[in-house]
Amino acid sequence: MKAQTPGRYPLALRLLHWLLALLLLVQVMLGFAAEHWTPRAVSDALFPLHFKLGVLILCLMILRLGLRLRLPVPADDSDAPRWHRRIRSCVHALIYLLVLALPISGHVIWVWMGADRTLIGGLQLPPFFVPPHDDETGRALAWYVHVYGAWTLSALVGLHVAAAVFRQWQGKDSFIALRMGFGAMPQAKIREAWIHQGRDL
């Protein structure tokens, strides 16, 4: 397996990180616009787009999880206290969980509504279950997960961004660019990272 440059995630994970960040921002705005900010006719046009984008996000997130388990990633070089690192890990885990749960709960709602599940090119997503006619409990539960999960995800992503910006500001080391950027990594930073990990160049 090819060694990864210290302090920097593999290119595939960096691309998926920023692509998912963009798609999630668009998806949240689409959902809120369709639910609250637009006339009924516009909402009817936005909801199918919201559904299709949710399926795409779910597929990309599964791909990201698979690559995350397969590819080498930089070690945690933070000198923060253990409780701080545990909170950061919990926030990351919750973000991953919610990004998976939101499209799934949205699909449950979509199937319960009997809405069109056609994706690009005429491909139709299977329903995966048959909703009961006399019990709306599952639909209500999926709705709560979807709506409150979206608010929770928005808050967690905001916390994640704030923590990354704070670390970059505190360390003055271009942390975001070095971890998730695409430019050349300065040789001084590579040497510093190897030394920090106890490796010799």
Q: How far apart are alpha carbons 124 and 82 in whole angstroms?
A: 47
CB distance 4 to 190 below 8 Å: no
Q: Give the chain's domains with CATH numbers.
A: 11-196 (1.20.950)
Q: Which residue has the higher pLDDT, 33 or 191?
A: 33
Residue-wise pLDDT tens digits, 78-105:
666 787 788 888 999 999 999 999 999 9
Residue-wise pLDDT tens digits, 157-170:
999 999 888 877 77
> Which residues touch 167 (CB under 8 Å, ≥6 apart)?
78, 175
Q: What is the pLDDT of residue 42?
A: 86
Residue-wise pLDDT tens digits, 32-65:
888 887 788 888 889 999 999 999 999 999 999 9
- Model confidence pTM above 0.85: no
CB distance 88 to 76 below 8 Å: no
Query: How many C-beta atoms surround the C-beta of residue 19 within 10 A?
Result: 14
Sign of the C-alpha dihedral computed for residues 158, 163, 168 and 169 taken in this order: positive
Confidence of residue 4 (pLDDT cuts 50, 70, 90): very low
SS (H, E, C) 128-161: CCCCCCCCCHHHHHHHHHHHHHHHHHHHHHHHHH
3, pLDDT greater than 60: no
